[in-house]
Chains A and B, each alone.
Chain A
């Protein structure tokens, strides 16, 4: 008896050891490229070309970040990225929750119809070209509004929030109704404040989606440099890197003036610096919202 327990323990210990090592390896594989990018972004540009930068900078320098921020284009793109993300998130959250509230009212006569109309949109998409033609016909080309307007309410988020509102006690709205409050007031004063836990997650998803997108800039706003976003600037750098390897002209793609490009910074360093600027805001936020993710995701596998 004692012998068998001991054997199981050894097997268990071996498994635990393997599992721990595996997890540490996973952490290294996940974090290494990111840490390496940070190191390169803080390393002197010319020194980076010699190679051999791994976990920390060899010749510490803030030149790359300076180059990124003194050039108007990247700074402007950063501002546009922030503006579109904030605006999209605020409007999205408010509108989606308001609609979700109406769809959570069992007595609402159009509830089912509106729900079906929205849920259908999760299963089909008109496609790139019909959408492109629509945006063109609405005169949203090269217009800041194209970053916000086409994605104000998404069916998936709508279902997530509606499902959450359903878990709140009905008596809250009922008693307010008896006291004479209208639906808009009930929504604003009672339901909306109570939805904060689920809204934190949905806001993160919306913000990440908006902050990370480059395709809408590419497709709809590439005609106006002042509407460019951070991700799109990075995409242009990446594209020029795939075309020509290590060409100093690449730095000009983001408007770093020729003198700076020749002497101090290189395309690789600039790319690293922009990558860090473009990813830091989200990486600072997501760990704090981690425990809510599962609520948002589990609704994704709801059966219809």
Chain B
């Protein structure tokens, strides 16, 4: 009993056996998570491992979690954002919650504007803001009256931290705090975190970046599939061990593929640049090849795909399709040229949820269905029947409204839409995001058979097993630059790909 007492007081934040059930999945499964005062505790895991659910739980977003939470030794039920705040939990989200057309001081003291004789006490507001900015050493650098829209991302991030610190929190949760920062700025952020730590605040640091964890964290907890895999001291663990904890003991590449023909170069880009997003990318794609593209969140994976698909501008660079130099001026043009881009955002950019499956599929091939300015949907019947057969969309009713389909079948319809254009190059951005296992398997099979038929595929995916299983080669992006390439002959594994995405040169077959 006495043991438990000391146990409790040792930790500023103590979550014991917490679980959170979503319809269909147990997102967090009996997780124990303890953070000491004055400790930076990294929380790691792949997408869908349960990090963000655990964090939202801390923020008080769910009233229905199970398990116990103690903050500074006191049992607390984090049922609303306000109770979490009062208990001393402060959050700094990746997506900053800023009112851009208001000033720094108004943002920091939103809802708590000081008044005197019923009027806003501007002097006090200014003074309090300067005091708050001192916490992050921005006093004298940022005028409290500047509108937030004129503040750089780096300073906005610091201001957000100042806002969190002014309430003297006990636990500070930071979600990817460096995602929008340059290298110098990251250093400033680290020294700030060390200072906060010295004040005895418990810091939960969520990050995808291994490098950062080794630099700033004291301990690390790895989650996988909603379960806690391990908690250890950062200095007792290697990068490789951490990656292994994250991806798990996967069976060696058991996927056997019939040897297929990989043909000549069909697409070749050189120095492809979209300022601010992707710089100087050069690579080629062969006929019938599946080329994987990996990189951490924010590395420019999607952005590269969008430039290739003609959606975002190519500021500099050459783009050759079947030896012909072209300018990817817009998506329509690229689709007619035989390059289709399947978006990662199915619901917003991919499908018209209120239209039928058929209308969605036909939307990409209207010119083919039209004669003399009139569209004849009947002309597409064979196309859609073939696609439905290949993709096993359930139900087989083509007139059904897309919003009534399950996620997996919506994704199949989206894939059918781009397959209907008979592309030569198919860019797939997260083709199996949010779909069930059955649909995933089927989509993988379809991608394989497309490649066997001679379609070239650029596969952008954060799902490592998928990437490893399907790709013939894998390109690696880091901070908007292609850093290298991995060849199948040198052996792929989840672990290697993840290390490569983290900039580990030894995992690459070819360095660029």
Is chain B found bound to chain A in the same assembly?
Answer: no
- Please give the residue numbers on chain A whose beta carbons come within 8 Å of chain B beta carbons, in ascending order: none
